[in-house]
């Protein structure tokens, strides 16, 4: 195997900027710029997020990982202003979050959250009414809302049950509708909290198709997941949160090959990474080479 092949083909080109860089111009280059964030549920006696800093560029696929209670959901709810920060600076799409009604409406049109349990998100009688609600609430005209709802339902294959009662939908269908709820408002950032939880393979694939649509439209997608195999194969970047702060933000190859981070956050290595480690120890592939797919592994072995 040539040195060029080893060093260029499999070396990650997704190096992440140091989150502590203080170049003011970087605000214009990042869709999310979180600086030293703190949030408390008990009047600042303790903090669910503490000193959390993170910068994410527009259009990136970001997997957010960490143990339950690490602060992931708290951070997500801060990103669209549901959780009012105790201190710190949070800039979304070049504008610092403020908490007056007009500012919150604006940031919530840019940052959409799809909750793990769609039952907590769906409350209208029919699918059409459900998807229309957010758009109308954001000030869209009736005509524009109808057109937007029909377009989103076509994209997400929801049209066959657009007039069905939401309570009669399957779990996978409810998840699709909850994603449509967010997409109809044309957000720049979509956050999905454990989107495949409790879904069978068929409906999980439908949700993945919906996520692919977001990516193609250059929406920044952040997914909270405990599945290292999915995170490794899908994400451009991995963010690991532990004890209310970011302890790692880098490419999947860098994060999942870091044993200290894996142990600290109690994250299991992806199957492919474990397999590559064993191949490396057996002398079959070079050290610190982490392909993203089985086909890439075969490509190395057959050189």
Q: Copy the structure tokens of residue 18.
A: 């140091």
Nearest to 179 by CA among 141, 143, 227, 217: 217
The whole-angstrom distance between residue 114's C-alpha and the CA centroid of its chain comes to 10
* Per-residue pLDDT tens over the stretch 32-83: 999 999 999 999 999 999 999 999 999 999 999 999 999 999 999 999 999 9
C-alpha distances in Å from residue 13, one per residue of 10, 99, 270: 9, 37, 20
Is the domain spanning 30-269 CATH 3.40.50.300? The answer is yes
The whole-angstrom distance between residue 301's C-alpha and the CA centroid of its chain comes to 33
Coil, strand or helix: which one is 115? Answer: coil
Q: Copy the structure tokens of residue 173.
A: 């269908």
Distance CA 80, CA 264 (A): 28
Q: Is 225 left (phi over 0), alpha (psi -120 to 50) or beta?
A: beta
Q: What is the mean pLDDT of the chain?
A: 87
* Per-residue pLDDT tens over the stretch 213-270: 888 889 999 999 999 999 999 999 999 999 999 999 999 999 999 999 999 999 999 9
Average pLDDT over residues 88-108: 94
Q: Domain locations in the chain?
A: 30-269
The answer to whether 36 touches 88, Cβ cutoff 8 Å, is: yes
Asked whether the predicted pLDDT for residue 293 surpasses 70, the reply is: yes
Average pLDDT over residues 86-96: 96
């Amino acid at each position: 195997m040539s040195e060029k092949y080893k060093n260029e083909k499999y070396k990650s080109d997704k190096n992440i900027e140091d989150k502590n860089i203080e170049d003011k111009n970087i605000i214009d280059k990042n869709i999310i710029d979180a600086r030293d964030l703190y949030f408390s549920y008990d009047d600042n006696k303790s903090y669910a997020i503490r000193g959390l800093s993170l910068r994410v560029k527009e259009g990136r696929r970001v997997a957010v990982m960490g143990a339950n209670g690490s602060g992931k959901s708290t951070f997500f709810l801060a990103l669209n202003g549901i959780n009012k920060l105790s201190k710190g600076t949070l800039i979304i799409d070049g504008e610092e979050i403020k908490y007056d009604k007009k500012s919150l409406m604006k940031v919530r049109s840019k940052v959409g959250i799809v909750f793990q349990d769609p039952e907590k998100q769906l409350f209208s009688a029919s699918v059409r009414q459900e998807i229309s609600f957010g758009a109308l609430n954001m000030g869209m005209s009736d005509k524009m809302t109808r057109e937007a709802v029909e377009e989103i339902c076509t994209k997400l294959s929801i049209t066959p049950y657009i007039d069905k009662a939401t309570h009669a939908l399957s779990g996978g269908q409810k998840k699709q509708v909850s994603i449509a709820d967010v997409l109809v408002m044309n957000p720049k950032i979509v956050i999905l909290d454990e989107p495949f939880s409790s879904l069978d393979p068929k409906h999980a694939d439908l949700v993945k198709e919906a996520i692919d649509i977001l990516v193609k439209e250059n929406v920044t997608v952040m997914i909270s997941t405990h599945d290292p195999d999915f995170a490794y194969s899908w994400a451009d970047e991995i963010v690991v949160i532990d004890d209310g702060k970011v302890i790692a933000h880098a490419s999947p190859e860098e994060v999942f090959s870091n044993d200290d981070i894996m142990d600290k956050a109690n994250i299991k290595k992806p199957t492919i990474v474990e397999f590559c480690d064993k191949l490396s120890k057996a002398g079959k592939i070079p050290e610190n080479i982490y392909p993203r797919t089985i086909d890439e592994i075969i490509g190395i072995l057959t050189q």
